[in-house]
A = this chain, B = another copy of it.
Amino acid sequence: MPRGFQFTLDHTDGAARAGVIKTPRGEVRTPAFMPVGTAGTVKGMLPESVASTGADIILGNTYHLMLRPGAERVESLGGLHRFMNWQRPILTDSGGFQVMSLAGLRKLTEEGVRFKSHIDGAIHELTPERSMEIQRQLGSDILMCFDECPALPATEKALAESMRLSMRWAARSKEAFGDRAGHALFGIQQGGVSRDLRAESAEALRAIEFDGYAVGGLAVGEGQEAMFGVLDHAPGMLPEDKPRYLMGVGKPDDIVGAVARGIDMMDCVLPTRSGRTGQAWTWRGMVNIKNARHRDDPRPLDEGCACPACRGYSRAYLNHVFRSGEMISGMLLSWHNIQFFQDLMAEMRSAIRAGRFEQFRAAFEARYRQGDIEPL
């Protein structure tokens, strides 16, 4: 890794790994879950609240930030960390995934992608070089290669062509990134559900040499079984001594399954998005707080949780404020969910270090399937 960055793999337990990424802005304990701060805020939370849950790193979205407020503006204001008042590490995506989701509004060439802003319809272009420039302007600690992420299912031929384009873009991303002390660049493996394409992609990335490697192109609708099928072999194709990042995942059971298969980092909007729609994640699965059966329930969401929602309020209150459309509903449930996801990661790190990850996983899965709460 570049100067100022260091990944130490401390423990392995089966395929599961525990370690730490040291960065100039602080350490990231792995396996790590990164809350998503799309547009310069983890929705519904103050950054000190995010930090209080044990989150070591958050993710920022290049696509959103380049359109509003603009990467040049963020740079002139001192960078994304100062702008959003988050001093710990930030990983930025490349903008590729969001741009590819703009069906009908984009044009893909060897050079890059031209697209229309969803905000004002203005035409923008993203290329590997421009993505590196924007991520540099934002002041990101961990930058991601610009890649194409095809929707699944796709034909083998389409997957192969897309993957090879992404590998050419990966080489251009590395070239444009250069050598920046204190900043790391991760490559992204593509190839969909094809083992051969995943191997070819891993080989191409290893030849370029990155500071970390993402398993890309998953969590795009293929389902958990297909995702786990890829994760049974894909992480092992990547260098053992570098962090492995599964992008856009996921639900708690996805996360546990991914860690079991050798993943070190993940990110997802799920905790905050669920929180805003009245869904809370617990060790017993998902709780729909809007359900009428919570209306008179004096118990907390999750007895064992230390978050403000669980320490201060009943399910009845959480039901009331959700039904009333009050901001505090999204604030409390987002906080709870981020806390739960971080607690889950902390439990997994402990289990891996203690050599009892499989026991943890079995207990997790049994409890997770119980249903959200016993009747009053």
Contacts and interface: CB of A to CB of B under 8 A. Distances in A.
Interface of A: 39-41, 43-48, 68-69, 73, 76-78, 83-85, 295-296, 298, 308, 312-314, 316-317, 319-321, 323-324, 326-328, 330-332
Nearest to A319: B69
A40 B84 CA distance: 30
Cβ-closest 7 pairs across A and B: A85-B312, A69-B320, A41-B328, A44-B327, A39-B324, A41-B326, A77-B316
Given A39-B321, A41-B326, A77-B298, 8 more contacts: A40-B317, A40-B321, A46-B331, A68-B323, A73-B316, A77-B296, A77-B316, A85-B313
Contact of A77 (B68, B83, B84, B314): B314
Most buried by B among A83, A308, A314, A327: A327
Contact of A327 (B69, B324, B330): B330
A320 B40 contact: yes
A338 B199 CA distance: 58
A76 B298 CA distance: 9
B308 A46 contact: yes
Contacts of A295: 69, 73
B327 A84 contact: no
Contacts of A316: 69, 73, 77, 83
A43 B331 CA distance: 11
A17 B308 CA distance: 38
A68 B312 CA distance: 20
Contacts of A314: 77, 83
Given A83-B314, A84-B317, A328 B45 contact: yes
Contacts of A320: 39-40, 68-69, 83
